[in-house]
Each structure stands twice: as structure tokens, then as C-alpha cells.
Amino acid sequence: MDEMEHKDLNKAAELTAKAQKIVVFTGAGVSTESGIPDFRSPGGIWSRYDPELFTYQYFMSSSQARKKVWAMLRETFLQFHAEPNAAHKAIADLFAHGCLYGVITQNIDGLHQESGIPDDFIFELHGNMRRVKCMNCDQLYETERIKNKLFKEEIPKCDHCGGILKPGVVFFGEVLPINVLEEACYRARNCDLFIVVGSSLRVYPAANIPKYALEAGTPIIVINMTPTYLDAEADVVLRGKAGEIMSRIVKLALEKKLS
């Protein structure tokens, strides 16, 4: 790490040490070190699958479409047995020290929950893969409990009414869960530090949320391997791996807090 990066890391640790109501906003880049590919990096999911497959209209359009979507989910999100990595654990450390006001995540992998942060501190803007829902009778199923059904049936159907089963994720063209979105925006407006980790900030309305913190005059830290639209307005931009950077910032910050 060069001199400049060292200075930025220290500035980020200072801001984190002072903050009591930190919001961390995460994207797929926070889970790549757990073995889950992100979407837009080279080799990411959208380099292997057509994003058009992931529109609500397409999924609902035909059984052929649903066959394709479920096949893609079997090869990706239903495959991963990922564990939280150093970045997730660093964010969980902030929670353990009482200075985390919330995690706003675009991720559907549930790794923030697995790192020990309770559900009521996590705002999943794009839903999650933990549950599957019948589009006809609203019956909810735990994905883990019906995994062999999801792998056996080309187009999984509801056991109760035979209706279409849809994964608990938000497809393109689908409305985000309004109560989650509203609370996420509220926390972005009312936090005292906003940290973006591992997101290209290219998908809306999620990518708008950091702007609420910006408009409130809240310090912003961006940790990402590649540039984002927010870099120019952020107080600190750290280019590099989320796991290493987040753990160094939180370690330094907690030492300052406790000193």
C-alpha cells in the first residue's frame, strides 16, 4: 500500500472511529471473496447469462422462460455454499461495538445475516434466495428445505395449489419491497457515516440511496475495485479488495475508539 493509500486508510479509520450510526451499503463485490461472482466484473454473472432473463416480465411470460431462469439459478445462486468473508466480519464487528445503524444490501446471498448481524439491521433491497413464494396462493417455502424439489422439477410448482414458484429475489422490472426501501432511505439520511462496499452503483433505485447521505452532508467512504459515480463526491475512496480494506479500517477504528 503506497503513502497515499495509507493516508486514505487512516482518514477512513478516523471517520469510522468518530461515528456512532454507521450505514454500510453493500453490493456483490463484498461477496466475491466468499466465492460468489459479482455481476459486472469480467467473468461476472452477466458475462455468462443474459440479464433479460432476470426481468419479471420474462419470468412470467412463459413456462419456457421459467425453465431457463430456474436452470440459471441452479447453476448460480442455488449452488453456492458460501461463508461470510473478512469484509462481512468487519461489518459485523461494527454491529458488535454498537456503532452500526444498518446494512443496506443489494445482495441476495444472506451472508450479512450469517456473519451475525440481526435481520432488523439488514435491509435487503433485492430480496434474498432464502425463500421461494407461490405466485398463486402466496405460500412461502424455505429454499433450503425444498432444494431437491428445486433441482428435480424443471419448473418447480407449489405443493399446495400447483401455482408458479418464484424465488424471493427482486427481478428487473419488479418493484422493490417498499417498506425496506423507505427504511433504507431513512437510515441513509440519518446516519453519521455512509460506507459503500463492493458495488458498481449502476442499478437504480438502489444506486440512488448514497445520494441521501450526500445531501445530508454525511461523510462518505467508497471501497471498490473499480470507479463509481460517487467517487468524486466521497470523502475517501479506497481502491482494492473489500476484505482487506474493511478489516484494516475497522481494526484501526476500534483501536482508536477504545484508546
Of the pair 57, 63, the CB lying nearest ligand APR is at: 57
In the complex, least distance from residue 134 CB atom to ligand APR, rounded to whole angstroms: 22
Nearest to 13 by CA among 210, 200, 216, 223: 223
Subset of 155-174 contacting ligand APR (CB under 6 A): none
Q: Which of 16, 32, 34, 115 binds ligand APR (CB under 6 A)?
A: 32
Of the pair 27, 167, the CB lying nearest ligand APR is at: 27
224 binding ligand APR? (CB under 6 A): yes
Number of other CB atoms surrounding residue 256 within 10 Å: 14
6 binding ligand APR? (CB under 6 A): no
221 binding ligand APR? (CB under 6 A): no
The string over 53-67, giving b where at least 16 C-beta atoms fall within 10 Å of a residue's C-beta and e elsewhere, is bbbeebbeeeeebbe
89 binding ligand APR? (CB under 6 A): no
Long-range contacts of 170-177 (CB under 8 A, 24+ apart): 170/125, 170/126, 170/127, 171/54, 171/55, 171/56, 171/58, 171/59, 172/51, 172/54, 172/55, 172/56, 173/55, 173/56, 173/57, 174/56, 176/125, 176/126, 176/205, 176/206, 177/124, 177/125, 177/127
Number of residues that bind ligand APR (CB under 6 A): 22
In the complex, least distance from residue 91 CB atom to ligand APR, rounded to whole angstroms: 13
In the complex, least distance from residue 56 CB atom to ligand APR, rounded to whole angstroms: 12
Q: Which of 8, 38, 109, 124 binds ligand APR (CB under 6 A)?
A: 38
Asked if 81 is an active-site residue, the reply is: no
Could you give the residue numbers annotated as active site?
A: 126
Interface residues with ligand APR (CB under 6 A) are 27-29, 32-33, 38-41, 44, 106, 126, 198-200, 202-203, 224-226, 241-242
